[in-house]
């Protein structure tokens, strides 16, 4: 069983807040980014690696994450980062043992409604969150560790 300490939805993926604040807070020593585009883009990977000196990183597609996460060693304390709730749903349905999701940042764009100043959703996002809830996953909006979390279902 992989030692997944924390799973976060953040459309920015790795940045200073994730790399420093959250990784220290949860005690991770490995950040796994599950994203089909970034997994194939060495430039984006190297830019993200600059934000995480001293931490190991892996960049996998969603399917690679499903296939490989079970091979993690006990010493790997994993922070799992994805862009969308749909990605989390695919991971969970693929057998990745996720029990709680931290929703940090989902940018506003046309067709999305803001739930908080950092989280905006459309109907597909809402449906993915509802499906995750039905699967027993806790869903908490929380930008930083010091902030009190909000259950996203209370805002849908």
Query: Which residues form the catalytic set?
Result: 15
C-alpha distances in angstroms, 65 versus 41, 80, 90, 110, 115? 16, 10, 10, 30, 29
Find the Cα–Cα–Cα–Cα dihedral 132, 135, 136, 141, rounded to 10°.
Answer: 0
Distance CA 124, CA 11 (A): 15
Nearest Cα to Cα of residue 19 among 45, 53, 46: 53
Distance CA 87, CA 79 (A): 15
For residue 8, the SS3 value is strand
Rg (the chain; Cα; Å)? 15
For residue 82, the tally of other CB atoms under 10 A from its CB is 25
Q: What are phi and psi of 30, to 5 degrees?
A: -145, 130
């Amino acid at each position: 069983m992989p030692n997944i300490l924390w799973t976060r939805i953040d459309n920015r993926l790795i940045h200073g807040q994730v790399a420093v604040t959250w990784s220290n807070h949860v005690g991770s020593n490995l950040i796994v980014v599950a994203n089909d585009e970034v997994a194939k883009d060495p430039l984006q990977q190297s830019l993200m690696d600059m934000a995480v000196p001293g931490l190991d990183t892996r960049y996998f597609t969603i399917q690679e994450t499903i296939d490989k996460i079970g091979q993690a060693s006990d010493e790997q304390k994993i922070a799992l980062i994805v862009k969308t709730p749909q990605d989390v749903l695919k991971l969970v349905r693929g057998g990745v043992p996720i029990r709680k999701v931290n929703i940090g940042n989902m940018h506003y764009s046309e067709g999305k409604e803001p739930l908080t100043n950092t989280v905006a959703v459309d109907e597909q996002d809402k449906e993915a969150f509802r499906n995750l809830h039905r699967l027993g996953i806790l869903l908490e909006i929380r930008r930083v560790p010091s902030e009190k979390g909000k259950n996203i279902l209370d805002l849908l």
